[in-house]
């Protein structure tokens, strides 16, 4: 095993420790390993998708963060051909969730998702998608 060191905001670490406690973890290291494995699996899953897809991009962000609304709007204009609809939900006095309905080639949907992830002020992004040509 390799040892690493990392810096985390106190609130994030406190929340993580609470989750570990609720889930019965005995060691923080095991929880971090499991969280990293989950992150890697989600990334690999997202990169293995191909073709036409429909889906949702859920975005949680601090809307007080300077420029975040403009940055999100710019990206939505850049990818307008793949966005069918958006919905904004205020969550708290600080946080908002956008739900973006997308349809099109997954390489463009993935690019949009990853660009959103890299914006400052973004707290969480999750892409959920299905093959566009599947019948219910």
Q: What's the pLDDT tens digit per position in 42-71?
A: 777 777 778 898 999 999 999 899 999 999
Task: Tell me: do 29 and 80 sit in the same domain.
Answer: no
* Sequence-ordered alpha helix ranges (H) in 55-134: 68-78, 106-117
57 and 38, same domain (yes or no): no
- Tell me whether residue 4 is in a domain: no
pTM beyond 0.75, yes or no? no
Q: Indicate if the pLDDT at residue 111 is higher than 70.
A: yes
Burial class (CB in 10 A: 0-12, 13-18, 19+), 111: middle
Q: Is residue 31 one of the residues assigned to a domain?
A: yes
Query: Domain span at residue 24?
Result: 10-46
Q: Answer yes or no: is 76 within a domain.
A: yes
């Amino acid at each position: 095993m390799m040892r690493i060191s990392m810096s985390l905001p106190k609130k994030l670490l406190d929340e993580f420790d609470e989750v570990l406690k609720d889930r019965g973890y005995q060691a923080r290291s095991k929880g971090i390993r499991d969280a990293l494995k989950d992150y890697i699996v989600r990334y690999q899953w997202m990169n293995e998708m191909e073709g036409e897809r429909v889906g949702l991009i859920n975005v949680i962000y601090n809307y007080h963060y300077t420029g975040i609304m403009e940055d999100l709007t710019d990206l939505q204009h850049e990818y307008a051909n793949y966005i069918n609809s958006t919905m904004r939900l205020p969550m708290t006095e600080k946080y908002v969730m956008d739900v973006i309905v997308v349809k099109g080639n997954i390489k463009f949907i993935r690019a949009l998702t990853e660009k959103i992830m890299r914006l400052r002020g973004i707290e969480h992004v999750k892409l959920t998608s299905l093959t566009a040509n599947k019948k219910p």
